[in-house]
Amino acid sequence: MFIDKIKIFVKAGAGGNGAVSFRREKYVAQGGPDGGDGGNGGNIIFKTDEGTNTLLAFRYKRKFIAEPGGNGEGAKRHGKNGADIIIKVPKGTIIRNAESGKIIKDMSDDEPFTVCKGGRGGWGNKHFATPTRQIPRFAKNGLPGDEKELVLELKMIADVGLVGLPSAGKSSLLAAVSQARPKVAEYHFTTLEPSLGVVNTGEDRGFVMADIPGLIEGAAEGAGLGHDFLRHIERCRLLLQVVDISGIEGRTASEDFDTISQELEEFSEELAGRPRIIAANKCDTILPDDENLASLKILADALGYKVFPISTVTREGIHELLCEIERQLATLPPITVYESETTEADEESYEDALPEDTEIRRAPGGAFVCTGKWLEKLCGRINFDDRESLMYFQKSLNDGGIIDKLRAAGCAEGDTVKMFDIEFDFVD
Question: In angstroms, how far is CA 303 from the centroid of its own chain?
Answer: 37
On whether the CB atoms of residues 66 and 41 are closer than 8 A, the answer is yes
314 inside domain = yes
Kindly report, residue by residue over 172-217, the tens digit of the pLDDT. Answer: 888 888 887 766 656 555 555 778 888 888 777 888 988 887 676 5
349 inside domain = no
Kindly report, residue by residue over 63-80, the tens digit of the pLDDT. Answer: 999 999 999 999 899 999
Torsion 374-378-381-384 (CA) sign: negative
Is the same domain home to 248 and 378?
A: no
The pLDDT of residue 301 is above 50: yes
337 inside domain = no
Which amino acid is located at 422 in the chain? I
Which amino acid is located at 212 in the chain? I
Q: What is the CATH number of the domain that holds 398?
A: 3.30.300.350
Last residue of a domain, one of 98, 120, 154: 154
On whether the CB atoms of residues 239 and 278 are closer than 8 A, the answer is no
Kindly report, residue by residue over 253-283, the tens digit of the pLDDT. Answer: 888 889 888 888 888 888 888 999 999 988 8
Residue 205 backbone phi and psi in degrees, to 5? -110, 160
User: Closest Cα to residue 84, out of 94, 96, 69?
Assistant: 69
Neighbours of 366 (CB within 10 A): 8
**Euclidean distance between CA atoms 90 and 53, whole angstroms:** 5
Q: What is the pLDDT of residue 160?
A: 92
Q: Which residues contact 63 (CB under 8 A, 6 or more apart)?
A: 8, 9, 10
On whether the CB atoms of residues 82 and 66 are closer than 8 A, the answer is yes
Is the same domain home to 294 and 369?
A: no
Q: What is the pLDDT of residue 80?
A: 95
The pLDDT of residue 40 is above 90: yes
Question: In angstroms, how far is CA 415 from the centroid of its own chain?
Answer: 45
What SS3 state is found at 329?
helix
The pLDDT of residue 14 is above 60: yes
Is the same domain home to 278 and 236?
A: yes
Last residue of a domain, one of 115, 131, 154: 154
Is the same domain home to 243 and 281?
A: yes
- 387 falls in which pLDDT band (50, 70, 90)? confident
Q: What is the CATH number of the domain that holds 176?
A: 3.40.50.300
71 inside domain = yes
**Euclidean distance between CA atoms 349 and 373, whole angstroms:** 8
Is the same domain home to 115 and 177?
A: no
Average pLDDT, the chain: 85
What average pLDDT does range 395-410 have in this prediction?
90
The helix (run of H) or strand (run of E) holding residue 264 is helix 253-267
Is the same domain home to 203 and 96?
A: no
- 1 falls in which pLDDT band (50, 70, 90)? very low
What average pLDDT does range 153-169 have in this prediction?
86
Total of domains in the chain: 3
Is the same domain home to 307 and 359?
A: no
Q: Which residues contact 165 (CB under 8 A, 6 or more apart)?
A: 214, 215, 216, 243, 244, 249, 256, 259, 260
Is the same domain home to 147 and 216?
A: no
The pLDDT of residue 378 is above 90: no
**Euclidean distance between CA atoms 189 and 46, whole angstroms:** 34
Last residue of a domain, one of 119, 154, 189: 154
Is the same domain home to 285 and 258?
A: yes
Is the same domain home to 77 and 142?
A: yes
377 inside domain = yes
On whether the CB atoms of residues 121 and 40 are closer than 8 A, the answer is yes
Is the same domain home to 359 and 322?
A: no
6 inside domain = yes
What SS3 state is found at 402?
helix
- 226 falls in which pLDDT band (50, 70, 90)? low
Q: What is the pLDDT of residue 379?
A: 82
Q: What is the largest CA-CA distance in the chain?
A: 108
Q: What is the CATH number of the domain that holds 1?
A: 2.70.210.12
- 2 falls in which pLDDT band (50, 70, 90)? low
- Domain range enclosing 409: 355-425
The pLDDT of residue 414 is above 60: yes
Q: What is the pLDDT of residue 192?
A: 58
Is the same domain home to 176 and 263?
A: yes
User: Closest Cα to residue 42, out of 2, 87, 74, 8?
Assistant: 87
417 inside domain = yes
On whether the CB atoms of residues 363 and 410 are closer than 8 A, the answer is no
The pLDDT of residue 326 is above 50: yes
User: Closest Cα to residue 58, out of 66, 46, 42?
Assistant: 46
Q: What is the pLDDT of residue 227?
A: 64
**Euclidean distance between CA atoms 107 and 86, whole angstroms:** 14
For 374-394, the DSSP string reads HHHHHHHH--TT-HHHHHHHH
User: Closest Cα to residue 126, out of 35, 28, 19, 30?
Assistant: 35
User: Closest Cα to residue 163, out of 197, 236, 216, 212?
Assistant: 212
339 inside domain = no
What average pLDDT does range 401-420 have in this prediction?
89
Kindly report, residue by residue over 89-143, the tens digit of the pLDDT. Answer: 998 999 999 988 899 999 998 899 999 999 989 889 888 888 877 788 888 888 8
Q: What is the pLDDT of residue 85?
A: 96
Determine what percent of the chain is predicted with pLDDT higher than 70. Answer: 90
On whether the CB atoms of residues 214 and 191 are closer than 8 A, the answer is yes
Residue 311 backbone phi and psi in degrees, to 5? -140, 120
Q: What is the pLDDT of residue 366?
A: 84
On whether the CB atoms of residues 146 and 12 are closer than 8 A, the answer is yes
On whether the CB atoms of residues 164 and 276 are closer than 8 A, the answer is no
The pLDDT of residue 311 is above 50: yes
Residue 131, burial from CB neighbour count under 10 angstroms (0-12, 13-18, 19+) = exposed
